[in-house]
Amino acid sequence: MFLLKLSRAYKTTPTNSLNILLGIPSLHLVTKSLFIRFNIWKLRSDKFRELIDPIFLDFYRDINSISSNRKIIICEDFTDYDYEVYTDGSRIGDNVGFSVCFFERNSLLPVFCYKMISFNSVFQAELAAINFAAGWALERNVKIKVFSDSKSSIEAIRSPKVKSNFVLSVKDNLYNAKDLVSLVWVKAHAGNPGNELADHFAKIASSCGADMSIPAPYSYVKRICKEFLMNEWNSYWKNSTTGKRTKEILPSANLDLLISNKYVIYLFTNHGPFPAYLCRFKILNNPDCLCGEHGDADHYLTSCMYNKDYHLLLPTGASRTHWTRKLCKNYLFLNRLKSIFEISRKICDDLQRL
């Protein structure tokens, strides 16, 4: 019912077509995907090992029992440091990694490069790099000033709300090294040579760095559950027997579609003010237009003599999907479609009076 209200489509429009047109997956599939996410992340169930085994997952800690000075880490900005450090994380396709570049009185020490697992995020890579630098300083008892271009990492370090065990363990290390580590933000790609160097090495690290194992973040669980949902939705759509016309134009599901214009829905479903449709549902006795031709959506778009001025050239096959996606955002086209279907509506009214 909600979908019908949102789209103002004809009541007989197949629900699976409306789901596709509106970019809203059907409730039973969403529920299934949320159920799986809950099982994996909360219950640590290994029933969905084909998606991910929970032993590889990060987890949330109860942060109420952690004192606030260990939750909110302020790395003071000092000037009497021994080393300048640039850190950066990078992702190229499935490769994730980070680099840490130490400078001792302007000369670069051997760079540390680490490769992470494809399920790790760039955010984790950035934090792991800062963490590595803090551990290095603590081990040698030297003062460092870390330059990172990751605002989100610095914010996470200062925020009392983060629950991730991985982030909290980084905070623990920074807390222990707080007299040795100063952390400042530097703008990325702004021509800062140290930052450019760290960026360069992070890219290399993502494919050839030494292995660094860090558990998968919650964002990864959300991502795989969304992928699962899209796969299920697509196979449901592919195997469904209704919505044949919509399927021809839009063969696959897309969450970003949201076609709520009723005229576009008439076009995509063939359910609208057309004699052929009204005849199918016994409102008219004859599927033909006043002009004598078969009266479906395409007839009014391309060939009916009563709306010649508005005719459109319809592409066929795969290019039709692309064409329609583009046109749905084009106001001139939408107005034209409206005029076409207003005329077909009048024709249907006339036919009903006959």
Q: Which is nearer to Zn ion, 205 or 304 (CB)?
A: 304
What distance in Å separates the CA atoms of residue 9 and residue 14, rounded to the nearest whole number? 10
Q: Which part of the chain contacts Zn ion (CB under 5 A), choosing from 27-35, 219-227, 255-263, 287-295?
A: 287-295
Q: Which is nearer to Zn ion, 74 or 291 (CB)?
A: 291
Q: Smallest distance from the beta carbon of 41 to Zn ion, in angstroms? A: 57
Q: Smallest distance from the beta carbon of 327 to Zn ion, in angstroms? A: 22
For residues 292 and 38, the answer to whether their CB atoms sit within 8 Å is no
Q: Which residues pair with 57 in a beta bridge?
A: 216
Q: Which is nearer to Zn ion, 128 or 289 (CB)?
A: 289
Q: Which is nearer to Zn ion, 243 or 295 (CB)?
A: 295
- Measured N-to-C along each axis, helices 15-22 and 262-269 cross at an angle, to the nearest 10 degrees, of 130
Q: Smallest distance from the beta carbon of 278 to Zn ion, in angstroms? A: 14
Q: Smallest distance from the beta carbon of 277 to Zn ion, in angstroms? A: 14
Cα distances (angstroms) measured from residue 117 to each of 68, 101, 134, 167: 31, 21, 22, 17
Give the CA count within 13 Å in the CB-facing half-sphere of 127. 26
Site membership for Zn ion, residue 291 (CB under 5 A): yes
What distance in Å separates the CA atoms of residue 210 and residue 114, rounded to the nearest whole number? 5
Site membership for Zn ion, residue 289 (CB under 5 A): yes
Q: Which is nearer to Zn ion, 99 or 307 (CB)?
A: 307
Cβ-proximal residues to 147 (8 Å cutoff; 6+ apart), any chain: 84, 85, 86, 87, 184, 185, 186, 192, 194, 195
Q: Which is nearer to Zn ion, 14 or 275 (CB)?
A: 275
Q: Which is nearer to Zn ion, 221 or 347 (CB)?
A: 347
For residues 303 and 289, the answer to whether their CB atoms sit within 8 Å is no
Total residues interacting with Zn ion, rule: CB under 5 A: 3
Q: Which part of the chain contacts Zn ion (CB under 5 A), choosing from 67-75, 169-177, 206-214, 286-294?
A: 286-294
Site membership for Zn ion, residue 278 (CB under 5 A): no
Residue owning tokens 């004699």: 275
Q: Smallest distance from the beta carbon of 305 to Zn ion, in angstroms? A: 6
Site membership for Zn ion, residue 168 (CB under 5 A): no
Q: What is the per-residue binding string for Zn ion in 303-322, x denoting contact by CB under 5 A?
A: -x------------------
3-state secondary structure 135-147: HHHHHHCCCEEEE
Site membership for Zn ion, residue 146 (CB under 5 A): no
Q: Which residues pair with 101 in a beta bridge?
A: 86
Q: Smallest distance from the beta carbon of 291 to Zn ion, in angstroms? A: 3
Cα distances (angstroms) measured from residue 287 to each of 147, 278, 284, 297: 72, 7, 7, 12
Q: Smallest distance from the beta carbon of 268 to Zn ion, in angstroms? A: 20
Residues that bind Zn ion (CB under 5 A): 289, 291, 304
